[in-house]
Amino acid sequence: MIVVMKQGATDSEIKHMIRRVEELGLKAHPIYGTERTVIAAIGEKRGPVKESLESGSGVAEVVPILAPYKVASLEVKPERTVVRAGPFSVGNGHLGIIAGPCSVESEEQVVSTARAVKAAGATALRGGAFKPRTSPYAFQGLKEEGLKILATARAETGLPIITEVVAAADVPLVAQYADVLQIGARNMQNYRLLEAVGIVNRPVILKRGASATIDELLLAAEYVLNGGNPNVILCERGIRTFETHTRFTLPLATVPYLNERTHLPVVVDPSHGTGHTSLVPRMAAAAIAAGADGLMIEVHPDPETACSDGFQSLTFKQFEEMMVLCRKVAEAVGKDISPAQTSESDAGEK
Ligand code: PEP
Ligand code: MN
């Protein structure tokens, strides 16, 4: 249910309704909009909740939430969510450009990549320190040493850092270093991990599982939002189909579909989505044309020697050329691709 308060409802009327919702055994999730406040009443309902809440003072109406996800839905929050971390701003017309190597391998590799992608217009640096690999024999990442390297690159460039967390037990450690936590496709339905990142003060980028439906993605986001963390970015990274020419199939219709249903920003990862360097730039541009709020792109100083995903990584020059193309498309669709205005010292602010 959504309790829609009247315009001009007082603070005490709002507080009273939050209490009433809780007394009914439901979780109250207030959203203070510019025009009006709504209180999402979430949980299993028992008894005549609607009738009971409708009579509250200051209440305009009580309406059911039709979507299976609640807090993520546009019905509950019609204003678009903008997620920020220093110069990285994503949503509501602002494009977040996330770039960096699949795996953190060395300081030299990460710092040189950070400098190059920043110069080309990236607004966040991404690199994996904890890698979820299909094979237990593949490179698993440098772990905390990798997090330290990312922090050095942030100090050198001012770019906020995004890195994956693969286990609930690692959340405090990764959150100590990262500005934004990435939940990978393999963990999209790791509900204990989603709960763990729901209670930390860091934005979360949630990648779609390779076999997950869009409703499952939104319900996974709901776990994070329900913990009290409102800063969730969704990421389309391709799904598994019968097609084998590309590593995954990248369904760009996800972007406008999500835009019609959720206020959360949506970014696209054409690196994993295609699995081929040569396909990445045009799919990145297509994602922006489809209305994406940002991109996640794998970039490596020397893709041939990369410890992971070199075959889908761009060189510095290729990334720069991709940005030239993306800038044109962004301008055509009225999106701002430049870094958010901020002082350098805001980057990585905890
Ligand atoms: C990655 O971002 O390097 C990664 C492992 O992606 P995904 O979780 O989408 O497979
Ligand atoms: Mn990768």
Give the residue from 264, 33, 50, 55 showing the smallest Cα distance to 41: 50
Distance from the alpha carbon of residue 298 to the mean position of ligand 2, in angstroms:
7
Rounded to whole angstroms, the Cα distance separating 11 from 327 reads: 44
Give me the residues near ligand 2 (ion), CB cutoff below 5 Å: 102, 309
Distance from the alpha carbon of residue 221 to the mean position of ligand 2, in angstroms:
21
Pocket of ligand 1 (CB under 6 A): 102, 128, 132, 184-186, 207, 237, 272
pLDDT at residue 343, as a whole number: 54
pLDDT at residue 277, as a whole number: 98
pLDDT at residue 344, as a whole number: 47
pLDDT at residue 66, as a whole number: 83
- Residue 126 alpha carbon, nearest atom of ligand 1: 2
Contact 180, 204 (CB under 8 A): yes
Q: pTM for this one? A: 0.93
| Mean pLDDT (10-residue bins), the chain, 350 residues | 93 96 92 88 81 93 90 92 95 97 98 98 98 93 97 98 98 98 98 98 98 98 96 98 97 98 98 98 98 98 97 98 98 95 50
- Residue 272 alpha carbon, nearest atom of ligand 1: 9
3 state SS of 96: strand
Q: What backbone torsions phi and psi does residue 236 show, to the nearest 5 degrees?
A: -85, 125
pLDDT at residue 279, as a whole number: 98
